[in-house]
Amino acid sequence: MAVVETIKHKKIIWTNIIKPDHEVIDTLRKKYKFHPLDLEDCLSKTQRPKIDDYEKYLFIVLHLPSQSGKRKSIEITEINIFIGQNYLITINHDGNKVLNNIFEKCSKKLKTKKEYMGNGTGFLLYMIIKELFDGCFPFLDKLALDLTEIEKDLFEEGFHKDLLRDISLLNKDIINFRRIVMPQRTVIAQLEHKNKKFLPENLDIYFDDVVDKIEKIWNNLETSKELITSLHSTNESFLSHNINNVMKVLTIFSVIMLPLTFITGVYGMNISTLPLLSHPESFFIISGIMAGIILFMLIIFKWKKWI
């Protein structure tokens, strides 16, 4: 069910809509005369990030990361924004917690409301976008912590656990995060070039600050991507090395057993003319010969540095 909340300060109205439905979108169409395609986009969560510039308003689609599930994996949340001369409408499809917290602070604290809404809709938009992308840094911190844990486990002395699943899941989060952030770089960079009625020129430096934040997020993700790739390669090398060691032990064991199997096979044929067969100590003599063969082969392997 859709939730519609409104804050008003002087002539500025901020409307926050959580999980919009057709009824709410139809109300927006009648009240603000938004373009039908924009309203249609508001009912779909598969839109790409973009800015549409109209005579009376801007329509912005943003994607941001969120965490869901038991593993807290990175997923996409979409936020649509309509900004006009005296109003700003945010459509929060997935109940983004950062946006809801901003709205709650403005609705409960008069000082915060004046700070956010006292300088026009353009400044309000800047404050919202700034805090939304500030909310990305805890996700980066969590990724960095997970990378550190995997690196610690991977290089721990005597550690033989297969970390492929953990590395693959973390790599998936990094890929999803990069997929979210990459288009935002272009969208936010375009804001300063859009309709100056809603985004005055004195806000250029503020949106440049947001662009810098996004670039910092992107650079951190690039570093995380390189690190997870290196950890994956190292893990594969360790696994391959362990498999080679196991195969070496099995091969040595098989080579040692080959002559012993031959001897036991020959003496298992029940032929009376076999050497030592009638000797009263034949079992101990043959066992001694077999032990000598084992010792000789181990000495050869050691001399060749195969073990």
Q: Percentage of the chain with pLDDT > 90?
A: 30
Q: What does the alpha-carbon distance between residue 298 and residue 271 come to, in Å, rounded to a whole number?
A: 31
Q: Cα-Cα-Cα-Cα dihedral of 57, 63, 65, 69, to 10°?
A: 110
pLDDT of residue 247: 85
- Judge whether 251 lies within some domain: no
- Judge whether 260 lies within some domain: no
For residue range 55-110, what is the model confidence (pLDDT) as tens digits?
A: 889 999 999 988 876 777 888 889 999 999 899 999 988 778 889 999 999 998 88
pLDDT of residue 129: 93
pLDDT of residue 195: 55
| Amino acid making up residue 231 | L
Query: The tokens 């610690």 sit on which residue?
Result: 152
* Tally of CB atoms within 10 A around 134: 13
pLDDT of residue 69: 65
Asked whether residue 206 falls in the same domain as residue 71, the answer is yes
Window from 7-16, 196-205, 242-251 with minimum mean pLDDT: 196-205
Residues 6+ apart with CB under 8 A from 185: 211, 214, 215, 218
For residue range 131-164, what is the model confidence (pLDDT) as tens digits?
A: 999 999 999 999 999 999 988 888 875 556 678 8
Question: Mean pLDDT, to the nearest integer, of 182-189?
Answer: 87
pTM for this structure? Answer: 0.79
pLDDT of residue 140: 92
- Judge whether 250 lies within some domain: no
Asked whether residue 43 falls in the same domain as residue 178, the answer is yes
Asked whether residue 209 falls in the same domain as residue 293, the answer is no
Q: Assign 224 a pLDDT band (cuts: 50, 70, 90).
A: very high
Question: Mean pLDDT, to the nearest integer, of 116-128?
Answer: 89
Query: The tokens 């508001």 sit on which residue?
Result: 42
Domain boundaries, position 188: 3-241
CATH, residue 174: 3.30.460.20
pLDDT of residue 275: 75
- Judge whether 42 lies within some domain: yes
Q: Percentage of the chain with pLDDT > 70?
A: 91
pLDDT above 80 for 14: yes
Total domain count, the chain? 2
Q: Assign 11 a pLDDT band (cuts: 50, 70, 90).
A: confident
pLDDT above 70 for 243: yes
pLDDT above 60 for 215: yes
DSSP label at residue 203: G
Query: The tokens 């986009």 sit on which residue?
Result: 41
- Judge whether 252 lies within some domain: no
Helices 204-266, 137-155: axis angle to 10 degrees equals 20
Cβ atoms of 41 and 61 closer than 8 Å = yes
Asked whether residue 70 falls in the same domain as residue 178, the answer is yes
Task: Look over the chain and give the mean of its residue pLDDT values, rounded to a whole number.
Answer: 85
pLDDT of residue 136: 92
For residue range 246-285, what is the model confidence (pLDDT) as tens digits?
A: 888 888 888 888 888 887 777 777 766 677 667 777 777 7
Extended strands (E) in the chain: 3-9, 12-18, 50-53, 58-68, 73-83, 87-92
Asked whether residue 210 falls in the same domain as residue 278, the answer is no
Asked whether residue 155 falls in the same domain as residue 271, the answer is no
Question: Mean pLDDT, to the nearest integer, of 39-43?
Answer: 88
Asked whether residue 190 falls in the same domain as residue 224, the answer is yes
